[in-house]
């Protein structure tokens, strides 16, 4: 099992323990595009949506 899958499983178990680094790792694995507009604001989008 790769790191992104393990991270996603852990995030589902504890939704209060999400960090941006974890979100970015999982997003990259699943082809989700991430835009950073500055500061702490990020926009996640998937090409098929």
- In a 10 Å sphere around its CB, with 0-12 CB exposed, 13-18 middle and 19+ buried, how is residue 40 labelled? exposed
Rounded-to-integer distance, Cα 48 and Cα 7, Å: 23
Question: Tens digits of per-residue pLDDT, 2-49?
Answer: 888 999 999 999 989 899 999 999 999 999 999 998 888 999 999 997
Joined together, the tokens standing for residue 9 give 């499983």
Domain range for 30 is: 3-45
The pair phi, psi for residue 10, each rounded to 5°, is: -65, -40
Instruction: Tokens for 46, please give them.
Output: 């998937």
What is the rounded CA–CA span in Å between residue 10 and residue 18? 9
What total number of domains does the chain contain? 1
For residue 1, the model assigns a pLDDT of: 62
What pLDDT, on the 0 to 100 scale, is given for residue 38?
82
């Amino acid at each position: 099992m790769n790191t992104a899958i393990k991270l996603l499983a852990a995030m589902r178990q504890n939704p209060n323990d999400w960090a941006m680094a974890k979100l970015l790792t999982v997003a990259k694995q699943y082809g989700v595009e991430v835009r950073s507009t500055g500061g702490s604001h990020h926009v996640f989008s998937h090409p098929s949506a």
